[in-house]
Structure 1
Amino acid sequence: MSPVDLITDIFSEEGRRVAALRALSLLDSAPEREFDALVALAADMLDCPTALLTLVDTDRVWIKAASAGERGQVCRDVGMCEVTIRGKEPLIINDLSGDPRFAANPLVMPADGARFYAGMPVHAVTSGGERHAIGAICVLDTKPRCLNESGRTALAHLATLAEAMIAARAAAKQAIEIATTADRHAAALARQDRIFRQAERMAAIGSWRVSLADDKLQWSDGVYHIHGLPVGDVPEMPTAMQYYPPHARDMITAALGETIATGAPFDIEVDFTTAQGKLRRVRVLGERETVEGTTVALVGVFQDVTERHALEVTLRRSADTDSLTGIANRAAFDRALEEAMTRSHAQGTPLLLALVDLDGFKAINDTLGHTAGDDVLRGVGRVLQSPWLKNSFAARLGGDEFGILVDDPAMVANPGQIRTRLEDALRFPIALNGLAMVSAGTVGIAKLEADCHSIRDFIHRADTILYMAKRERVGERRRENRSAA
């Protein structure tokens, strides 16, 4: 291939890429809660102050969503995402100031500028089946850092989720446009119906209509399929509502009433049960249909989003879980503690906070190695999930420190027994390469009092008791050593 042909081919590919991006109507669009939630999740999961979903246009990088809300745009030759979309793998730069491609970048040069960047290309698929990188999901930090394999995997999952959201958005937009204009374009009904059915199959989606005069429902084939019903007679409205559990039924009823009353469209996700009893998650969109200014019906789209919802739940659970011990991490613990304190004060129910500090953990690491230390931490995680703790909330707070929230009335009544039983359970042998040691832990327990309203104060009280308990145990060991001498 000659240089001229190569350049022509490159520009042709770039033209098709930009065309695919602009066909989505995402550029310069209003904020959307799905994408805002996605970047917030990315920032939480990868522990970075900034997460972005960007779209790379002809000469600019436009920020569709940002964890801190700072939407806007930068020149294409300035944004790191320009490089990201040219590869298939994540672009991870531990220190931007040391990378010759970005050291002189105006986003990097200031003392408080970007230092760390990790991004994954986000693709869109055209109607012709072509796959193009239209932007990236990325995280940034003002400090150099690195991203482990778990973080790389999470970034890839987030990019997959972004692509699914963009595809669903495009399909839903197309489907609802078809559904609301079908009656007005009778001459093109057959062609539109074929397109709509294709969109339904591609996006697990269907359309619905309910007449306000008689509550008569109309469903497309896709709605029957999601319900697990054969295409045929549409059920009456009360029967159709039985496919939703009570809490979801209330949400649907409220959304329909609000749209009828105000004209505002609705877009909600709720739980759903098929005719075969399978639990699913569905997204329901609806808006008013008017004739000469009078509302005659509600029309909308019905979509099965079970897989996407499950992926979101999995990612959220991963963000809240300590990967080594399998119990909650510090961020999840802080949220649970705040909620438990609020509930305890409001309802007058008791609450205990137990802090656990491992004794001699450094010695185990230094003597037996970090593999043995990891085994100890995993063992502690299993102890803190024991059935006798009656579903108490346990978390690894960092290093060899753990926390437990206890709200069972019978257990709260006897904190001394909890401490004794925990310390007994935390004492177990650990061995590696012929060497053996004993792991142990000290427990400090504080009860939430009426005058304690801040997380910091409650933790401080429990930490003070833990410190006194550790001093007491050190004193006991010294007395035992003197007696033995």
Structure 2
Amino acid sequence: MNRRITTAASFPIPASFDDECRLATLQAHALLDSEPETEFQSLVSLAAEMLGCPVAALTLADRDRLWVKSSVGPLPRQMPRNVAFCDHTIQSTDLMIVPDLSADPRFARNPFVTGEDATRFYAGMPIRVPDLAGTLQPIGSLCVMDTTPRSLSGAGEQTLRHLAKLAEALIAARAIARRANAMAELSERQAERLRTKDRIVRQVERLALIGSWRTVIGDSRAIWSDGVYRIHELPPGQDFTVEQGLSFYPPESRAALRATIERTIRTGEAFDVELDFVSATGRQRRVRVMGEREMLDGKAHSVVGMFQDVTERHALETQLRRNADTDALTLLANRAAFDRALEQAIGEAAVTTEPLGLVLIDLDGFKLINDTLGHPAGDEVLRIVGQRLRVEWLAGCFVGRLGGDEFGVIVRDSVLLAEPERLRTRIEQSLAISITVNGLTMSCAGTVCATSLPEGCRTTRDFMHHADSRLYAAKRDRVGERRRGDRRHQG
């Protein structure tokens, strides 16, 4: 992959960089000094979590100041632009990474680097949106920071790029929604421009995969715009009832949407939900449904709203979260995801009193394989372990790589927990692995401990400590058996 990353003491400044045009584009989006928005805060929180940084922010570069739209960690709401790291990011063409700010002459005397709780690491990706001519203008950046020098892996760099693209998509969707609202207000004031407005709305619907809908309370008919028909993959103009419209949702989503609409009619509370959806051609989609109640003569008269296909955005968010929770080598859950799952399981077990078991696995001989045959051989062993722990009979369990050559299995199946020794033996037998490199064959096996949640245990730490103690005891027994076997063989 050809990656362009700005580091050290230089950064590329695009020849076409025009700060006045950039500022005009920023002002047109009405993002500065705006109210907090959940989508942007969720995005920033995701960046901090996925890249393991205590500070993350979505920033906007005004004429003389840098304004923080959303952030995680201790950051001021705004700061002078001439001391902001992100001012350099918006002038770069790609990802900017500064592993150690104190070692970079651009930032060594910066008050955020020399002050208390100094920032030492910075990585930022410019956020670009199109101006009226369609030229992308850098209006801000998505960045992460840390108090210790560090860098990002290749996967981390790609993650920050993906998240920046998602931020641009959110800003674009926000702008489209603002334009659609403005057009709706204009149509109410200027009825003579109705046909012009209608044509523009249709264009916006096609561009944003969005449509509008309306239903009169007490009337079974559903009134859809062309955009709604397009998302349903149906020809425009066909009459539909509300019940027929609901039939495109799977049962669980259908019940949730029905209850949501009924609550809005009853209370007047607007709604904004995302649901699974199946088009007329059978395609699985993800849609966003927004609605609010309309009053007439003091009585609830109708429900109106917007309907949007958000399948691609939802898929990207899902993939990013999955990547954050998955060990890339074994394709099992990573330690963070495993700890969250174990904490949840312990909490549920305390309420339901259902059985809960924990299996810990330590590979014997793995280090010797790694040292003798090389890391590629060690990686292959770990991949094999991942495959063997993803077998069908463990499908109801939560399996994770805890680090190095250690693995864990959360067991909630009462049938498996009824025979813990059989469970332990079965896993142990499946992890007898041999690998050959350049004619040399080496083997490794797993020491396995299976234990149940002790009475009174309420924390992940206590349960893991209990299981660790059992695992270490099993390893000592295994080493003792091997030494006794060696002595018998010598005799």
Structure 2 residue matching 1:443: 3-state secondary structure: strand
Residue correspondence of structure 1 range 456-471 to structure 2 within 5 A: 456-471=461-476
Q: Could you tell me how far apart the structure 1 residues matched to 2:375 and 2:16 are?
A: 53
* Deviation sequence 1:238-267 (CA, Å, 0-9, x none): 211222223222332343344344444322
Structure 1 residue matching 2:112: 3-state secondary structure: coil
Give the counterpart of 1:382 among 380, 387, 394: 387
Write the letter of the residue equivalent to 1:371: P
Structure 1 residue matching 2:206: 3-state secondary structure: helix
Give the counterpart of 2:430 among 417, 425, 430: 425
Write the letter of the residue equivalent to 1:267: D
Write the letter of the residue equivalent to 2:436: A
* Deviation sequence 1:54-110 (CA, Å, 0-9, x none): 111111111111134856111111211111111221101111111111111111113
Residue correspondence of structure 1 range 138-287 to structure 2 within 5 A: 138-179=143-184, 182-212=187-217, 214=219, 216-287=221-292
Q: Is the 8 A contact 1:176 1:301 kept in 2?
A: no
Cα offset, 1:449, TM superposition: 3.1
Q: Could you tell me how far apart the structure 2 residues matched to 1:431 and 1:355 are?
A: 27
Q: Could you tell me how far apart the structure 2 residues matched to 1:210 and 1:57 are?
A: 43
Q: Which residue of 2 aligns with 1:360?
A: 365
* Deviation sequence 1:175-232 (CA, Å, 0-9, x none): 2443465344311212211221121111111112222363543221111101111111
Q: Could you tell me how far apart the structure 2 residues matched to 1:116 and 1:12 are?
A: 26
Distance 1:326 1:457, change over 3 A: same
Q: Is the 8 A contact 2:17 2:91 kept in 1?
A: no
Count of residues in Structure 1 that have an aligned counterpart in Structure 2: 477
Q: Could you tell me how far apart the structure 1 residues matched to 2:76 and 2:216 are?
A: 40
Q: Could you tell me how far apart the structure 2 residues matched to 1:480 and 1:12 are?
A: 75
Q: Which residue of 2 aligns with 1:473?
A: 478
* Deviation sequence 1:370-414 (CA, Å, 0-9, x none): 111111111111121122324321101111111101122221111
Write the letter of the residue equivalent to 1:147: L
Q: Which residue of 2 aligns with 1:453?
A: 458
Identity of aligned residues (%): 52
Q: Could you tell me how far apart the structure 2 residues matched to 1:56 and 1:258 are?
A: 42
Q: Could you tell me how far apart the structure 2 residues matched to 1:180 and 1:281 are?
A: 29
Q: Could you tell me how far apart the structure 1 residues matched to 2:168 and 2:16 are?
A: 24
Q: Is the 8 A contact 1:63 1:73 kept in 2?
A: yes
Q: Could you tell me how far apart the structure 2 residues matched to 1:438 and 1:32 are?
A: 55
Distance 1:193 1:135, change over 3 A: same
Residue correspondence of structure 1 range 38-49 to structure 2 within 5 A: 38-49=43-54
Is residue 31 of structure 1 aligned with residue 36 of structure 2? yes
Q: Could you tell me how far apart the structure 1 residues matched to 2:300 and 2:18 are?
A: 47
Q: Which residue of 2 aligns with 1:330?
A: 335
Write the letter of the residue equivalent to 1:425: S
Cα offset, 1:147, TM superposition: 0.8
Q: Could you tell me how far apart the structure 1 residues matched to 2:346 and 2:103 are?
A: 46
Q: Which residue of 2 aligns with 1:79?
A: 84
Distance 1:223 1:281, change over 3 A: same
Q: Which 10-residue stretch deviates more, 281-290 or 301-310?
A: 281-290
Q: Could you tell me how far apart the structure 2 residues matched to 1:132 and 1:478 are?
A: 70
Structure 2 residue matching 1:108: 3-state secondary structure: helix
Cα offset, 1:298, TM superposition: 2.7
Give the counterpart of 2:308 among 303, 307, 314: 303
Scaled by the length of structure 1, the TM-score of the pair is 0.93
Q: Could you tell me how far apart the structure 2 residues matched to 1:111 and 1:433 are?
A: 55
Q: Could you tell me how far apart the structure 2 residues matched to 1:71 and 1:276 are?
A: 50
* Deviation sequence 1:412-454 (CA, Å, 0-9, x none): 1111112112222212112223332111221112101332111
Q: Which residue of 2 aligns with 1:341?
A: 346
Structure 2 residue matching 1:48: 3-state secondary structure: coil
Q: Is the 8 A contact 1:176 1:207 kept in 2?
A: no
**Structure 1 segments unaligned to the other structure (5+ residues):** 1-8
Scaled by the length of structure 2, the TM-score of the pair is 0.92
**Structure 2 segments unaligned to the other structure (5+ residues):** 1-13
Q: Which residue of 2 aligns with 1:132?
A: 137
Q: Is the 8 A contact 2:55 2:74 kept in 1?
A: no
* Deviation sequence 1:161-180 (CA, Å, 0-9, x none): 11111111111232244346
Write the letter of the residue equivalent to 1:352: G
Q: Could you tell me how far apart the structure 2 residues matched to 1:276 and 1:70 are?
A: 49
Q: For the aligned residues, what is the CA RMSD? A: 2.1
